Amino acid sequence: MSNTYIVVTPFFPSPDNWRGAYCFDLVKALKKTLADWRIEVFVPGKGDDYEIGGITMHRFATRQLPSNIMPFLFRGYNEKSFFNAVNRVGISLNDVVVCHGHTANFVIYPLAIKRANPKCLTLLHHHDLCSFGLNLGRLHTCWIYNLIMFPVFRRLHEQIDGHVFISEASRRSFLSAPDTDWTVYADYKKQMRGLPYRSVHVKKSFVLHNGIDAKLFYEEASSSKTATGKVVLGCVANYLDLKGHVDLLNAVAILQSRGYGISLRLVGYGQERKNCEDLAKDLCVDAEFIDEMRHEDLPGFYRSLDLFVMPSYFEGFGCVYVESWACGTPFIACEGQGIEDMVSDDEKSLWLAKPRDAIDLANKIEYFIQHRPTQHLKGPIRFDELVPQFVRELGI
């Protein structure tokens, strides 16, 4: 018999894409903490299993309607496909001590293991500020659709033994559904407040911040910043409206009008990139648009910056913030996001800008340029510290 910990997640790096690196670092820390256990990772998708950084990802095929409509319509097929993958790897269901799913749609997989092995501890990991399960797809603001799906999600959530949140903000929003305060989705918020249902009651909940791999993200004694004579700002984020690229570009334009020399470096991908490139040209902003980087290349990028700025107004936590900080580069974020948990109380006015407010963001950046304050965080950020504490809280 071998104690087995199963992680089933849509977020994990692949050979051609490094999205989901925080889950990769989490699994590495689990393997280190539970050295005598068998840790296995399962990801949806077609094709062969693959290996990243010494960790094998086991693929299993899934079916789903477009735009995340009725996500559990093919539950039977998807659970069977998952079980086939578990059997293919040679895992005995009786050996599974923990099954750890990620995102609301993946709640079915820990529960499937639980039906076969009632002793299994089921966990569900929540990664954003709107993680109940109704925020995705073209029907997310449809009152009738939410009226049908809310009790479905609630019933499944209440069967899970423990819910894991990446921040206190993420936990608060989940536990307050449907009467929650998701400012990013005004229409969705209005529709949810109309649902005649009680909030979800969970058995247990844990907060596990997105941590960093301290062997990769650390401050070097010698600076690798480029001597350009300009203040170098940077951001790592998908090109989505809610990430705040437009606000950042406008803030840089404001600073330039005040006489500051700014060089902006943006790493990411997405459909909005072309619009951002056009805006940068229109504003005459010195902006370099860099393709998505591999995980191991990010530390050098962070160290090349004077300040990391991601004015996202819908961020469950934001691992890029602590990655940058660990590399010796402070960050500016927005108020009301998950990272606020980590910022020292007496420094929030320095590092947290008002959401969707380019002028306030410019003022925060200007203060940094003029005074170069030291940024302090509260609480551990290394997975080597976070995961052992998490495992102790689980009692395994």
pLDDT in tens, 44-57: 999 899 998 899 99
Report the 3 state secondary structure along the chain.
Answer: CCCEEEEECCCCCECCECCCHHHHHHHHHHHHHCCCCEEEEEEECCCCCEEECCEEEEEECCCCCHHHCCCCCCHHHHHHHHHHHHHHHCCCHHHEEEEEEECHHHHHHHHHHHHHCCCCEEEEEECCCCCCCCCCCCCCCCHHHHHHHHHHHHHHHHHCCEEEECCHHHHHHHHCCCCCCCCCCHHHHHHHHCCCCCCCCCCCEEECCCCECCCCCCCCCCCCCCCCCCEEEEEECCCCHHHCHHHHHHHHHHHHHCCCCEEEEEECCCCCHHHHHHHHHHHCCCEEEECCCCHHHHHHHHHCCCEEECCCCCCCCCHHHHHHHHCCCCEEEECCCHHHHCECHHHHHHHEECCCCHHHHHHHHHHHHHHCCCCCECCCCEHHHHHHHHHHHHCC
Report the length, in residues, of the chain: 396
The answer to whether residues 248 and 262 touch, using CB atoms and an 8 Å cutoff, is: no
Q: Look at the block and give the residue holding tokens 């648009």.
A: 289
Q: Is 345 exposed, middle or buried (0-12, 13-18, 19+ CB in 10 A)?
A: exposed
Residue 107 located in a structural domain: yes
Alpha carbon 98 to its chain's center? 22
Residue 222 located in a structural domain: no
Domain count, the chain: 2
Q: Span 193-214, mean pLDDT?
A: 86
Residue 216 located in a structural domain: no
287 and 263: one domain? yes
184 has a pLDDT exceeding 80 = no
pLDDT at 195: 62
201 and 262: one domain? no
363 and 388: one domain? no
Which of the listed ranges 15-19, 87-91, 199-203, 220-224 does the model predict with the highest average pLDDT?
Answer: 87-91
What is the domain-level CATH number for residue 325? 3.40.50.2000
pLDDT at 352: 98
137 and 186: one domain? yes
User: Which residues, at least 6 apart from 391, have a Cβ–Cβ distance to it below 8 Å?
Assistant: 30, 33, 34
68 has a pLDDT exceeding 90 = no
Residue 73 located in a structural domain: yes
pLDDT at 248: 98
192 and 251: one domain? no
Residue 356 located in a structural domain: yes
- Of 21-25, 102-106, 203-207, the range with the lowest mean pLDDT is 21-25
Model pTM score: 0.92
Residue 84 located in a structural domain: yes
User: Which residues, at least 6 apart from 162, have a Cβ–Cβ distance to it below 8 Å?
Assistant: 121, 122, 123, 124, 202, 203, 204, 205, 206, 394
234 has a pLDDT exceeding 60 = yes
**Which residues is 44 bridged to in the sheet?**
60
Residue 243 located in a structural domain: yes
End-to-end CA distance of the chain: 16
312 and 199: one domain? no
104 and 244: one domain? no
132 and 47: one domain? yes
196 and 280: one domain? no
pLDDT at 190: 58
Q: Span 167-174, mean pLDDT?
A: 92
pLDDT tens readout for residues 331-384 = 999 999 999 999 999 999 999 999 999 999 999 999 999 999 999 999 899 999
Both tokens of residue 273?
């990139």
Domain region containing 114: 4-211+383-394
201 and 256: one domain? no
81 has a pLDDT exceeding 50 = yes
pLDDT band, residue 222 (cuts 50/70/90): low
390 has a pLDDT exceeding 90 = yes
266 and 181: one domain? no
pLDDT band, residue 20 (cuts 50/70/90): confident
What is the greatest pairwise CA distance in the chain? 68
The per-residue pLDDT of the chain, averaged, comes to: 92
pLDDT band, residue 183 (cuts 50/70/90): very low
267 has a pLDDT exceeding 60 = yes
Q: Tell me the CB-side half-sphere exposure of residue 109, using CA atoms within 13 A.
A: 32
- Name which residue leads in pLDDT, 339 or 191: 339
137 and 25: one domain? yes
Residue 188 located in a structural domain: yes
